């Protein structure tokens, strides 16, 4: 019975696959909203394509 209960309980953690700007934003929202997040990234650091961009439209702010 106890086991059953444990199995049916929703787990308060989310896995985000991909550490680009989308994955990072999802991870930040979830952690702030009260969920533990595992952020999975294939390469050795998060950042994705955006970390390679120089400036962003339209204010030409630093992408990092």
Partner 1 sequence: MEAGRSPNIEIITNAEIKEISGIAGNFFVKILCYPRYVDAAKCTGCGVCAQYCPVTILDPHNRNLSLKKAIDIQYTQAVPSSYSVNPDYCLFLNKKECKQCTRACQTGAINFDQKPEVSEYHVGSIIMATGFKECDASSIESYGYKDSPNIVTGLEFERISSASGPYTGKILRPSDLKKPQKIAFIQCAGSRTQISGKSYCSSVCCKYAVKDAIVALEHEPDLDITIFFMDMRLYGKGFETFYERARKSGVTFIRSRVSEIKHDKDTEDLAIEYIKEDGTLHHDTFNLIVLPMGLEPHKENYSLAKTAGIKLNTHGFFQTGLFNPLNTIREGIYVAGGCKGPMPLPDSVMQASGAAVCASELLKKSRGTLISEKAFAEEISIDQEDLRIGVFVCNCGKNIGGVVDVVDVKKYAETLPGVVVSTDNIYSCSEDTQVLIKETVINEKLNRVVIAACTPRTHEPLFQTTIREAGLNKCLFEMVNIRDQCSWVHAYEKEEATQKAKDLIRMAVAKAGLIQPLAEPVINIIPKALVIGGGLAGMTAALSLAEQGFECYLIEKTSVLGGNLRNIHYTLDGEDPKLYLNELIDKVSNHNLINVITESEVESVNGFVGNFHTVITKSSGHGTDREELKHGIIILANGAAVYEPDEYLYGKSENVLLQHLLEERIASGQFIPAKEDSVVMIQCVGSRDDNHSYCSSICCSMAIKNALKIKEINPCTNVYVLYRDMRPYGFHEDFYKDARDRGVVFIRYDIKHKPDVTEIDGGVCVTVRDPIINKDVVIDAKILALSTAIIPREDKKLEKALSVPKSAEGFFLESHVQLKPVDSYVDGIYICGMSQFPKPIDESIFQAKAAASQASILLARGYVKSEPIVSFCDTDKCIGCGICEYFCPYNAIKMIRINKKRKAEIVVAACKGCGVCSSYCPARAISMGRFTDEQILAQIKAFGAD
Note the residues at the interface with partner 1 (CB under 8 A): 7-62, 64
Instruction: Please give the Cα distance from 41 to 19 (Å, whole number).
Output: 5
The distance of closest approach from Cβ of residue 3 to partner 1 in the complex, given in angstroms and rounded to an integer, is 13
The distance of closest approach from Cβ of residue 43 to partner 1 in the complex, given in angstroms and rounded to an integer, is 7
Which of 1, 49 has the CB closer to partner 1? 49
Position of tokens 């969920």?
35
Which of 1, 52 has the CB closer to partner 1? 52
Instruction: Please give the Cα distance from 10 to 51 (Å, whole number).
Output: 35
């Amino acid at each position: 019975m106890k086991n059953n209960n444990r199995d049916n309980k929703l787990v308060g953690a989310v896995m985000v696959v991909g550490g680009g700007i989308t994955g990072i934003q999802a991870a930040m929202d979830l952690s702030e909203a009260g969920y533990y997040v595992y952020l999975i990234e294939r390469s050795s650091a998060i950042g994705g394509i955006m970390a390679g961009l120089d400036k962003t439209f339209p204010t030409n702010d630093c992408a990092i």
